[in-house]
């Protein structure tokens, strides 16, 4: 409980290095180090994922921070701390832990979720150790770490107090100032005042997500009455969606449904898993009684309420399934109500509107969050950020968990309160030892894609090739060259993802085969004998002909098979 007594030795330094999460929202991974330059002992805070999209990462399953800086310094890494159970903080663990193999510390609910993930990946459950909140202290090399309960949109979120010989750091994690959060611990000013009174705060690493929201954030508890009124006013079936991990919201929704005399049913694996983890870890008590989909089918529509996954229009989630038709025997019909108790994350608008329009076709009434009436954010708004700055009075603020625009605005907020602050995006190593943050080094960082079961670098070219295939289509040319260096038969063309006919309705593949055949017939010995030259020449013919025929330049693979003179 007592702060560390070790004083900083001359020449030692305290560093901070975001590998992910600073300059984007997602894949959080922050490194702290203390020691002589190049010999700092290290800890990692959070190891999250980001989600792919068709524009930049088609076919990819998950995106994670490139941790090669860390794996190259494994002997210096002491431990991993996970602030809370959201995917962008915890989700990288099952895919990257085996490269790190260090103890992972988390609070009970987060640890429960983490162990489920480790188990599914065939990894050791006991890599994750359950930690109690402050006053419990975890010592990891020169670091002494305490978990401080904060309110957020998932149970048992924590800020970290990280004591180092060079001073005390508060790493905010994701938080909001909610004094009545329905599930979990309320925000408590006194706790943070005590932390700052105990030892001055050197640096506050702080969530920046909602820095552009000018009004104070609203409590989860403000939603209960409006939701209950809405559901009571509905006549048909009511279906509500929200983030599966927002256990408080699930409870509020379920209670509103029960209060309106409805039988409640949860649809979607993620949702059931969260309730289970909540009950198992003791976080969630008294979740209203709910029935299985099989039983829900037997309930009359006007007495039924479903709570479902898929608030972002995800294709495989329950909401999209219901938008397409029957799902687990349940079907939405004219006069039913679908409620988005959620906000659309920028980039997901198209998918969400697809679901909305599909419901509209069925005659379903769609209710959105109505500007905050049926949804509140889990992140601190600008006045709340100003509030925590004032509570802690740190020497410096380092904004994290935000795109560049968020970090930059958050720096302005801190500066306006007279606090030193700096924009430090992924790969910017800061030296925090002095009175203001100083850039110590630029580290090469990046993104790793989980593609199927393989990990590939974002810049490896694999995904770039897939994007090219999507834009340009694909042509395979095969040619057999005989023992004498002459073409055996005609070149053969296979196309994929290309218009079948070109100008004047000519078959594209046939036109190509004709022109390639002509080229090969007239090609000199030298070209025919040189695989590289021949391949390049054939590609050139393909690109030129397809440009003339269909106005596109496809991706081309040329396979030349040479019969050897046996």
Note the residues at the interface with its own copies (CB under 8 A): 23, 53-55, 58-59, 346-347, 349-350, 353, 356-357, 360-361, 366, 403-405, 408, 451-456, 460, 462-463, 465-474, 476, 478, 480, 488-489, 492, 494, 496-503, 549-552, 555, 557, 559, 561, 563
Least gap, CB of 492 to its own copies (angstroms): 6
Least gap, CB of 491 to its own copies (angstroms): 11
As a whole number of angstroms, the distance between CA 113 and CA 273 comes to 9
SS3 14: strand
As a whole number of angstroms, the distance between CA 171 and CA 417 comes to 19
Least gap, CB of 305 to its own copies (angstroms): 22
As a whole number of angstroms, the distance between CA 288 and CA 297 comes to 19
* Residue written as token pair 């039913």: 336
Which of residues 180 and 370 has its CB atom nearest to its own copies in the complex? Answer: 370
As a whole number of angstroms, the distance between CA 462 and CA 468 comes to 10
Least gap, CB of 511 to its own copies (angstroms): 13
Name the pairing type of β-strands 13-20 and 428-431.
Answer: antiparallel
Provide DSSP, 341-405.
-S-PPTT-HHHHHHHHHHHHHTT-EEE--GGGTS---SS-BHHHHHHHHHHH--SEEEEESEEHH
Least gap, CB of 91 to its own copies (angstroms): 17
Which of residues 334 and 444 has its CB atom nearest to its own copies in the complex? Answer: 334
Least gap, CB of 62 to its own copies (angstroms): 12
Q: Which two tokens stand for residue 130?
A: 């359950």
Q: Which of 108, 154, 342 is nearest to 248 (CA)?
A: 154
CA distances from 484 to 195, 517, 531, 532, 561 (A): 84, 17, 14, 18, 13
The angle that helices 404-416 and 382-392 make with each other, rounded to 10 degrees, is 50
Strands lying side by side in the sheet with 454-457: 49-50, 62-65, 447-451, 454-457
SS3 225: helix
Which of residues 222 and 472 has its CB atom nearest to its own copies in the complex? Answer: 472
- The torsion angles phi and psi of 307, rounded to 5 degrees, stand at -115, 120
Least gap, CB of 267 to its own copies (angstroms): 23
As a whole number of angstroms, the distance between CA 409 and CA 154 comes to 26
Least gap, CB of 372 to its own copies (angstroms): 15
Least gap, CB of 246 to its own copies (angstroms): 22
- Residues 247, 155: contact at Cβ < 8 Å? yes
**Ramachandran sector of residue 328 (left: φ over 0; alpha: ψ -120 to 50; beta: rest):** left
Which of residues 273 and 354 has its CB atom nearest to its own copies in the complex? Answer: 354
Least gap, CB of 468 to its own copies (angstroms): 8
């Amino acid at each position: 409980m007592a702060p560390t007594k070790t004083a900083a030795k001359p020449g030692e330094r305290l560093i901070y290095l975001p590998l992910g999460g600073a300059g984007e929202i997602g894949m959080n991974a922050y490194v702290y180090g203390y020691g002589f330059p190049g010999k700092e002992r290290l800890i990692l805070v959070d190891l999250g994922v980001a989600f792919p999209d068709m524009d930049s990462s088609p076919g990819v399953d998950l995106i994670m921070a490139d941790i090669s800086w860390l794996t190259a310094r494994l002997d210096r890494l002491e431990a991993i701390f996970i602030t809370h159970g959201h995917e962008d903080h915890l989700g990288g663990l099952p895919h990257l832990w085996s490269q790190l193999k260090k103890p992972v510390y988390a609070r009970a609910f987060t640890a429960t979720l983490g162990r489920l993930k480790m188990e599914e990946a065939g990894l050791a459950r006991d890599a994750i150790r359950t930690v109690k909140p402050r006053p419990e202290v975890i010592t990891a090399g020169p670091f002494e770490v305490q978990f401080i309960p904060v309110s957020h949109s998932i149970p048992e979120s924590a800020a970290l107090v990280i004591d180092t010989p060079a001073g005390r750091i508060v790493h905010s994690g994701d938080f909001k100032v909610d004094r009545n959060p329905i599930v979990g611990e309320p925000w408590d000013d006194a706790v943070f005042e005590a932390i700052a009174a105990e030892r001055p705060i050197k640096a506050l690493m702080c969530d920046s997500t909602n820095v552009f929201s000018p009004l104070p954030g609203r409590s989860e508890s403000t939603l209960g009455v409006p939701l209950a009124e809405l559901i009571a006013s509905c006549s048909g079936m009511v279906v509500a969606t929200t983030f599966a991990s927002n256990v408080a919201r699930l409870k509020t929704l379920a209670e509103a449904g029960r209060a309106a005399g409805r039988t409640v049913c949860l649809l979607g694996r993620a949702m059931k898993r969260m309730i289970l983890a909540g009950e198992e870890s003791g976080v969630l008590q008294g979740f209203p009684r709910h029935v299985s989909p099989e039983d829900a089918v037997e309930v009359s529509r006007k007495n039924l309420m479903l709570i479902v996954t898929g608030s972002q229009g995800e294709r495989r989630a329950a909401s999209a399934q219901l938008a397409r038709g029957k799902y687990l025997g349940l079907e939405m019909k004219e006069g039913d109500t679908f409620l988005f108790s959620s906000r659309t994350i920028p980039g997901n608008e198209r998918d969400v509107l697809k679901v909305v329009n599909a419901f509209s076709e069925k005659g379903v009434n769609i209710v959105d969050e109505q500007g905050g009436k049926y949804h509140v954010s889990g992140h601190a708004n600008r006045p709340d950020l100003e509030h925590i700055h004032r509570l802690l009075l740190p020497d410096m603020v380092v904004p994290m968990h935000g795109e560049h625009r968020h970090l930059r605005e958050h720096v302005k907020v801190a500066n306006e309160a007279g606090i030193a602050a700096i924009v430090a995006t992924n790969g910017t190593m800061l030296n925090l030892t002095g009175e203001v943050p100083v850039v110590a080094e630029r580290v090469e960082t990046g993104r790793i894609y989980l593609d199927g079961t393989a990990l590939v670098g974002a810049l490896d070219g694999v995904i770039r090739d897939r994007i090219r295939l999507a834009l340009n289509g694909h042509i395979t040319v095969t040619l057999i060259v005989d023992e004498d260096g002459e073409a055996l038969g005609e070149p053969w063309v296979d196309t994929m993802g290309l218009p079948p006919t070109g100008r004047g309705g000519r078959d594209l593949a046939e036109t190509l085969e004709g022109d390639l055949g002509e080229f090969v017939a007239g090609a000199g010995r030298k070209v025919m004998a040189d695989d590289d030259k021949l391949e390049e020449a054939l590609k050139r013919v393909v690109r030129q002909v397809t440009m003339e025929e269909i106005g596109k330049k496809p991706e081309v693979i040329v396979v030349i098979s040479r019969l050897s003179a046996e």
